[in-house]
Structure 1
Amino acid sequence: MNRTFLRPDDVRDLVAEQFGADRRPAALDRLTGGSKKGVYQLRLDDATSVILYVWAAGENYWPASPASEDDPFADASGADLFAAAHAALTAADVRVPRLLALDPGGRHFGAAIALVEDAGATTLEALMEGDPAAAARPLAALGEALRRMHASPGPSYGKLAHLADGRARPSRPAEDVVLNRALAQLAAVAARDARMGEAHDRIAAHVRRLREAVAPRERYVLVHGELGPDHVLVTPAGEPVLIDFEGLTYFDAEWEHAWLRMRFEDAYPALRPIALDPHRLELYRYAQVLSLIEGPLRIAGTDFPGRRWMLELAEWNIAKALAVL
């Protein structure tokens, strides 16, 4: 795909509309890491800056993959998902970048866009690696934010925007969504990697055993879905600011904590996690391992600039998937 990204001249009308005719774009830098939407730092001629999100086909590196209608983790990208998630997190008193403007109609660049506060470039991940003492305060505050999210119940599982407009129609237990998703991803991976192909039946049996150990439950809360320290910005005042939250959904808290355990590693206890169902947690943990093989292998087949990193991530999780056997 021949991708063309935005340049400063492309945003002149947007800047004039949002900030006044006397303001001009001084620079427009596409930030690295975005794979589903374009994320740009827009610097203005008065030395201020904002962040521009652009949801356009040319900004999305992910090829489509089959998914059931009630899968709350499929296709987590779009201005409608962003708006619903931003509103829900704000209502739960969870710090997110302040929303300055939202245009889902494509008046600019033929794409849905949002302008948000520039909360800075310091991530919690960078602090944890370079200055663990400075990371202590935002880690504790993030734990408090997570407890507020996980005390915000929903009527069913599903993305907030989809529940609001009737698109989410859950017809099976949440753990069966995870089971079927994991088995589908396993089948896709087995077709790409000989080791996973050879182990397919044993892995599938392991996933089914994990599912059988999970007791029925219907208690759904706000879940970010992919919350790692790279998805948390830290302001100069030490506030953690959640980003990349279009995948926000009502689901089991164990899904969140399986991811948090993996991404925060030794720092995870600093989040002061809530009590969890260990069987549900283990099913979700292993399902996420399979997802972190299938997704990286799928995007590695595109022109995504981080292809090598994705292949290394898949390899790391192939080892984890096979280790239980």
Structure 2
Amino acid sequence: MGTVRGAVAPELWEGVVRAALGGGRRPVAVERLRGGSKKGVYRLRLDDGSSVVVYRWAAAENYWPGAGDEPGAGAGGTGGQQDPFSPASGLGLFQAAHRRLAALGVRTPRLYLADGGRTLHPADLAVVEDVPGENLETLLGRDPRAAEPVLARLADALGLLREHRAPYLGRTAPSGAGALPASPSSERLVVERALADLAEGAARDARLAAAEEQLAALVQAHGAAVRPRAEYGLVHGELGPDHVLVDRHGHPVLIDIEGLMHFDVEWEHAFLRIRFGEHYRWLDHDGLDEQRLALHTLAMRLALVPGPLRLLDGDFPDRGAMRGIAEHNLRAALALLR
């Protein structure tokens, strides 16, 4: 993994801007935006006062040690149905997710250019709309009442994803019209991943180690209580309020969409409950399977302990925030034993 990250000189983006927007405009300033651990996100300010955002996928942009061991929380498959918890990164996944969301009418930043040929720039990249305004997390902190219509619209978007069902797990539909390949059940995958996350977390923190046997038994009990399922909805996978922009019309705009996949909608809602807190009431859904939700909530808590700590094995800059996430979820996991 490279460690040199930062803004790139504006003149190096001139060909990219020309290909994305046509002639007549050129970049005059480049700003690296905060957030994101797997790709670089840059705002290009243009000479006419407008701006665009560039997503850049390159080894030097990936903060994960090994660039392939991201945590289960929020991750999804790489395109194969068998592995919905493998790293979610790359231009191909972004394009596939963008097409799917556009077809469903779920708002994401408009895509101006996707280039994987590396003729314009020495990395895969996408040029997208720079959505003006703040993200939903900032709006909720500043004016929760003003955020309510946005939350209601976000709930509608989640409904569109939830109802887009498929008889398989993962990010891409099986090719051909024949029988579906054998696939593990979602609950089995979650149990296996939760036990692996628990083992790693226990190796990193003595408090988890002391409770490892009890937590493992609880994971197995939750998994055994889940009844089989034949269809899966579409989930974003890591839909915190920081991954929802708010456009000038008050519409939610989903970003960091590479993890979009068919999976249990309860996986999405376990994460929503954790990240939205009291505001989750706007996003709740009556049709959730409570047994699956209990399993996924425990699994999510266990994933959010070793994942952030693993990220800190590298040079991720916001280290206090990652330690806080790990500590908060460790305590929450232990509280589930009471």
TM-score range, shorter-chain basis? over 0.9
Alignment-derived partner of residue 30 in structure 2: 28
1:238-266 Cα shifts (integer Å, max 9, x gaps) = 11101111000000111111111111111
User: Counterpart of 2:13 in structure 1: which amino acid?
Assistant: V
RMSD of the alignment, in Å?
2.0
Whole-angstrom distance in 2 between the partners of 1:226 and 1:2: 25
Q: Which amino acid aligns with 1:3?
A: V
Contact 2:109 2:130 in 1 (8 A): yes
- The answer to which of 3-12 and 70-79 deviates more is 3-12
Show the 5 A alignment for 1:180-219.
180-219=192-231
1:188–1:27 distance in 2 versus 1, CA, 3 Å: same
Tell me if the contact between 1:158 and 1:170 (Cα under 8 Å) persists in the aligned partners. Answer: no
In the TM superposition, 1:130-209 aligns within 5 A as 130-160=142-172, 163=174, 171-209=183-221
CA distance in 1, matches of 2:182, 2:243: 28
Matched residue, 2:291: 279
Question: Does the 8 Å contact 2:166/2:262 carry over to 1?
Answer: yes
Deviation by residue 1:181-214 (Cα, 9 ceiling, x = unmatched): 1111111111111211222111111110111111
The CA deviation at 1:316 is 0.8
Is the deviation greater in 279-288 or in 214-223?
Answer: 214-223
Aligned pairs for 1:1-325 within 5 A: 1-5=2-6, 6-63=8-65, 64-65=68-69, 70-160=82-172, 163=174, 171-325=183-337
Equivalent-residue separation in structure 1 for 2:174 and 2:143 (angstroms): 41
CA distance in 2, matches of 1:88, 1:110: 27
Q: Secondary structure at the match of 1:289?
A: helix
> 1:28-72 CA deviation, whole Å, 9 max, x = no partner?
111001111011111100001111000111001112329997221
Alpha-carbon distance between aligned partners in 2 of 1:3 and 1:188, rounded to the nearest angstrom: 29
**Cα 1:227–1:106 shift into 2, 3 Å:** same
Provide structure 1 residue ranges, at least 5 long, that are not aligned to the other structure: none
Percent identity over the alignment is 48
1:3 shift after superposition? 1.2
TM-aligned CA deviation for residue 164 of structure 1: 5.6
Question: What is the DSSP-based 3-state SS (H/G/I as helix, E as strand, rest coil) of the residue aligned with 2:304?
Answer: helix
Give the distance between the partners of 1:226 and 1:234, measured in 2 at CA.
17
Q: Give the 3-state SS of the residue equivalent to 1:219 in structure 2.
A: coil
SS state of the match for residue 183, structure 1?
A: helix
Provide the TM-score with structure 1 as the length reference: 0.94
| DSSP 3-state at the match of 2:151 | helix
Question: Amino acid of the residue matched to residue 263 of structure 2?
Answer: F
Give the Cα–Cα distance (whole angstroms) in 1 for the partners of residues 220 and 17 of structure 2. 53
Aligned counterparts of 1:205 and 1:142: Cα–Cα separation in 2: 36
AA of the residue aligned to 2:222:
L
Report deviation, 1:221.
1.1
Contact 2:3 2:315 in 1 (8 A): no
CA distance in structure 1 between the aligned counterparts of 2:55 and 2:331, rounded to whole angstroms = 35
CA 1:156–1:119: 2 relative to 1, 3 Å? same
2:125 partner SS: strand
Distance of 1:62 and 1:237 partners within structure 2: 36
Contact in 1 for aligned 2:56/2:124 (Cα 8 Å): yes
1:190 and 1:264 map into 2 onto residues whose CA distance is: 27
Per-residue deviation, 1:217 = 0.9
Aligned length: 323
